[in-house]
Structure 1
Amino acid sequence: MTGRLRRPTGRYAGRSAQERQAERRRRFLDAGLQLFGDSPGYRATTVAALSESAGLSTRQFYEEFRTLEDVLAALHLRVNDWAEEAALAALAESAHLPVAERAAAVFRAYAANVTGDPRRIRIAFIEIIGVSPQLDRQRLARRSRWVDLICAEAAAAAERGEAQMRDRRIAAAAFIGSVNGLLHDWSAGWVEATLDQVVDELVRMLLGILQSVPLGPDGGPAGA
């Protein structure tokens, strides 16, 4: 399949072609969330199975997507967008709190959103891994976006005198890597802990980044 089929135009049953297209896309994505995020998983799903789950035809699938990878890519972005919206809403609501409480509230809002549905965990941290170079670039781009958010908030906290002023990009990247790795391993059953325990540990790591003391030339605390 070298390209998408031409989409229908005009109105049908009181809905425009754009409205019908949006509805079909939503149904395919909902089916993808279920099949990729639960069973049988992305690699064992076919276009025919996805279309059947969505209650649509394979012809309609190719009107919206080129491949199943496109569906997975859209779902990965969607899950991250939901989590980002939750984190930013918590950030706005906790703006009056001290930095430690604010960081904890924001991360817990993120964690509650992404882990509230086990299918989202699998999409964000398991199914997306190793699919293709293109999806690897997308995954790393979203990681970078989370790193930027942490660095921006850390800088704002430093300007308010709540944290030390320093470059936290490496520490933020390490933290995001820990989030991805730990949630992946927990979801796979490799970590013997409750989700609350996992989130608590990640919150402690985040607060350590915000409150850490810069190192001096000898590797010890600066000024020691």
Structure 2
Amino acid sequence: MTGRLRQPTGRYGGKSAGERQAERRRRFLDAALQLFGDSPGFRGTTVAALSEAAGLSTRQFYEEFHTLEDVLAVLHLQVNGWAEEAASAALAETRDLPLAERATAIFRAYAANVTSDPRRIRITFVEIIGVSPRLEEQRLERRSRWVDFICAGAADAVARGEAAPRDYRIAATAFIGSVNGLLHDWRAGWVDATLDEIVNELVRQLLAILRPTGWPPGA
């Protein structure tokens, strides 16, 4: 298949063609969140099963997407986008607070968003892994965006005199791996702790990175 099928134009049932398309797309993504994020998972889902779960036809599926991988790609970005919006909103609300309080609020907002639905964690940390070179590149690009988010926060802390000045990109990359692993294992039941305890541990790790032993000089 070289492209999506042609879509109808004009109004029907009080909705424009664009509105109907947006609704169909939403229904496919909602169904994908359930099937990919729970059971049977991305690799066990077929176009027919996804279409049935969405209450739509396979023909309508191909009007919106080329393959199931396209659906997973959109869903992965959507879940990450929700988490980024939550973290960015917390950052905006706490700009005038000290570093430790800012970091705690941001991680609490991020963790609460990601862990509020176990299907989101599975999409972000499990189902996206090893699907294809294309999705692996998307996953790493999205992780790089989170690294940029941490580095921007670190640069702001340095400018305020709250953190040691240095290049934080490698440290931020390692830290993001810790965040992902800890939240996944906690939600899977492998870590016996409350979400607040998880957030506090992440904040302690971040502050140790930003404020290493011996900083500030003479402390």
TM interval, shorter chain, is over 0.9
Q: Which residue of 2 aligns with 1:154?
A: 154
Letter of the structure 1 residue corresponding to residue 66 of structure 2? R
Determine helix, strand or coil for the equivalent of 2:39. Answer: coil
Q: Which residue of 2 aligns with 1:62?
A: 62
Letter of the structure 2 residue corresponding to residue 99 of structure 1? L
- For 2:79 and 2:205, how far apart are their aligned partners in 1? 23
Out of 77-86 and 38-47, give the one that drifted further: 38-47
Q: Contact 2:82–2:113 (CA<8 Å) still a contact in 1?
A: yes
The alignment status of 1:30 with 2:30, answered yes or no, reads yes
- For 1:193 and 1:126, how far apart are their aligned partners in 2? 22
Q: Which residue of 1 aligns with 2:86?
A: 86
Out of 194-203 and 137-146, give the one that drifted further: 194-203
Determine helix, strand or coil for the equivalent of 1:5. Answer: coil
Shift of residue 33, structure 1, vs aligned partner? 0.5
Q: Which residue of 2 aligns with 1:218?
A: none
The alignment status of 1:171 with 2:166, answered yes or no, reads no
The alignment status of 1:108 with 2:102, answered yes or no, reads no
- For 2:30 and 2:43, how far apart are their aligned partners in 1? 17
Shift of residue 47, structure 1, vs aligned partner? 0.7
Structure 1's 158 and 18: CA in aligned 2 closer, same or farther, altered over 3 A? same
Q: Contact 2:115–2:187 (CA<8 Å) still a contact in 1?
A: no
Shift of residue 41, structure 1, vs aligned partner? 1.0
Shift of residue 5, structure 1, vs aligned partner? 0.8
Letter of the structure 2 residue corresponding to residue 102 of structure 1? R
Percentage of matched positions with identical amino acids: 78
TM-score (norm: length of structure 2): 0.93
- For 1:155 and 1:48, how far apart are their aligned partners in 2? 49
- For 2:194 and 2:103, how far apart are their aligned partners in 1? 21
Shift of residue 213, structure 1, vs aligned partner? 4.4
In structure 1, list runs of 5 or more residues that go unmatched: 216-220
Determine helix, strand or coil for the equivalent of 2:13. Answer: coil
Q: Which residue of 2 aligns with 1:8?
A: 8
Q: Which residue of 2 aligns with 1:140?
A: 140
Determine helix, strand or coil for the equivalent of 1:163. Answer: coil
Q: Which residue of 1 aligns with 2:44?
A: 44
CA RMSD, 1 decimal: 2.0
- For 1:203 and 1:94, how far apart are their aligned partners in 2? 15
Shift of residue 203, structure 1, vs aligned partner? 2.3
- For 2:59 and 2:52, how far apart are their aligned partners in 1? 11
Paired residues, what number? 219
Q: Contact 2:111–2:183 (CA<8 Å) still a contact in 1?
A: no
Shift of residue 147, structure 1, vs aligned partner? 0.6
Shift of residue 28, structure 1, vs aligned partner? 0.2
Structure 1's 59 and 176: CA in aligned 2 closer, same or farther, altered over 3 A? same
In structure 2, list runs of 5 or more residues that go unmatched: none
